[in-house]
Amino acid sequence: MSLELTAPAPEEPSVADDGTWLECIACGAQFAPFEDVRYTCDDCDGLLEVRYASPPTWDDFEGRGVWRYNAALPFEEGVSLPEGATPLHEVPRLEADVGVETLRVKHEGMNPTGSFKDRGMTVGVRVAKELGVGRLACASTGNTSAALAAYGARGGMETLVLLPAGKVAAGKIAQASLHDARILEVDGNFDSCLDIVQDLAARGEAYLLNSLNPFRLEGQKTIGLEILEEFHEDYGTYPDRIVLPVGNAGNTSALYKAFRELVQSGALDVDDVPKLTGVQAEGAAPMVEAIENGWDETRRWDDVETRATAIRIGNPVNAPKALPGIRETDGTAVAVSDEEITEAQRDLAAEGVGVEPASAASVAGLRKLRAEGVVDADERVVCLTTGHLLKDPDAAFEAGDDPEPVPNDTEAVLEHLAE
Ligand SMILES: Cc1ncc(COP(=O)(O)O)c(C=O)c1O
Ligand SMILES: [Zn+2]
């Protein structure tokens, strides 16, 4: 099986270009990386993965942000704003309250467009240029469209985004709009948008930049590389567990791949690989269902609902990559309610960390797993927060306190404060 944590570094096939090629995770077919546009396997339609003849070691990394890790990426540099180098916050009160030895929060909302998607787009748009494609497209719960619009604009390329009508947070549509994406609102959910955009891509109408595109996940690997490097610098050890929100399971797959490549190069001991722990909203939890039932695939949920619109996804396309990642790292998956998500959003805000609802799912999930005794008190944990508070201002208003109207007069203000 190609997705085992202990699989040896691969042999370079003749189709490789400068030590890089594409490989099907289902049947092992290999393809040249940049000759043709291809998202899945020609032979069996399985998911593709980018493979390298020389997986990276720590000494290979220099510089800052995503492109610090170019030894783990297909290019030296990309279309950049720049992205990555996000904070790994200490959250002492939350750490004590949840009851783990160490808790750090990797705040991906601090990327240029306010989500982790920028890490994938800086690589994806670079590949699009290599392939010489015209229009870039994605389906999105919002953040992918914001990132695609911005990175497409940066690269001087036309962009098209398909969004589920009425289910995308205001900040994200505003971004796609101002960065001049053509925005189509589909009368359906995210999964139907992805079906359509895959059809468009198959007909050559656009280059697909959803996380089905294996190159996007390469950029997202750098979340894991940054966490490991910084955590090790601070504590001389690696985190026991990384907890992350799950939608299409792109990050889960990407972090797993980052760890596998480090194990292949000898840079990381297999016993030091953090347990990948996925969190979904109760109303959109096909990955949790698959983990709990020991399934190799997810069942498509047609009716999904959650206030965390970014992860309102019923058919996670990267499940075949992510399920082995959770299992092989001895991780788990858990579902949380919208109320638990909002509570966690407030907890993070009380530490000065402003996140959108989907992001807070990681903290809500950790709290639940700790209460259930699945996570131990002596664990060192990193929670990933994937998007910024300003992405979803309506949710922030709902979770926070209402402004209080006061008269235009100091005495009246003082009186009001004394009430
Ligand atoms: C804020 C946020 N968190 C989490 C996710 C889910 O990420 P993934 O598809 O990698 O599981 C998304 C994207 O859909 C997102 O926008
Ligand atoms: Zn195949």
Q: For the chain, which residues score pLDDT lower than 50? A: 1
Same domain? For 341 and 359 the reply is yes
Ligand 1 pocket residue status of 249, Cβ below 6 Å: yes
pLDDT in tens, 14-55: 999 999 999 999 999 999 999 999 999 999 999 999 999 999
Same domain? For 153 and 278 the reply is no
Same domain? For 200 and 222 the reply is no
Which one of 205, 231, 263 terminates a domain?
205
Closest by CA position to 146, among listed 91, 192, 81: 81
Q: Which helix (H) or strand (E) holds 20?
A: strand 20-24
On whether residue 28 sits in a domain, the answer given is no
On whether residue 218 sits in a domain, the answer given is yes
Same domain? For 190 and 278 the reply is no
Residue-wise DSSP of 197-252: HHHHHHTTSSEE-STTSHHHHHHHHHHHHHHHHHHHHHHSS--SEEEEE-SS-HHH
Same domain? For 262 and 323 the reply is yes
Which one of 180, 205, 230 terminates a domain?
205
By alpha-carbon position, which residue is closest to atom 15 of ligand 1?
Answer: 310
Same domain? For 200 and 321 the reply is no
Which residues are placed with Cβ below 5 angstroms of ligand 2, an ion?
24, 26-27, 29, 41, 43-44, 46
Same domain? For 343 and 237 the reply is yes
Strand partners, 182: 160
Number of structural domains (the chain) is: 2
On whether residue 70 sits in a domain, the answer given is no
Residues at the binding site for pyridoxal 5'-phosphate are: 143, 247-251, 386
Same domain? For 108 and 188 the reply is no
pTM, to two decimals: 0.98
Ligand 1 pocket residue status of 356, Cβ below 6 Å: yes
Same domain? For 219 and 311 the reply is yes
**Parent domain of 192:** 134-205
Mutate to test the pocket of ligand 1, among 243, 251, 298 (most ligand atoms within 8 A of CB): 251
On whether residue 74 sits in a domain, the answer given is no
Same domain? For 257 and 334 the reply is yes
pLDDT of residue 1: 45
Domain harbouring 286, CATH code:
3.40.50.1100
Ligand 1 pocket residue status of 169, Cβ below 6 Å: no
Alpha-carbon span 220 to 24, nearest angstrom: 19
How big is the chain by its Cα radius of gyration, in Å? 21
On whether residue 141 sits in a domain, the answer given is yes
Ligand 1 pocket residue status of 115, Cβ below 6 Å: yes
Same domain? For 144 and 241 the reply is no
pLDDT of residue 9: 87
Same domain? For 145 and 246 the reply is no
On whether residue 394 sits in a domain, the answer given is yes
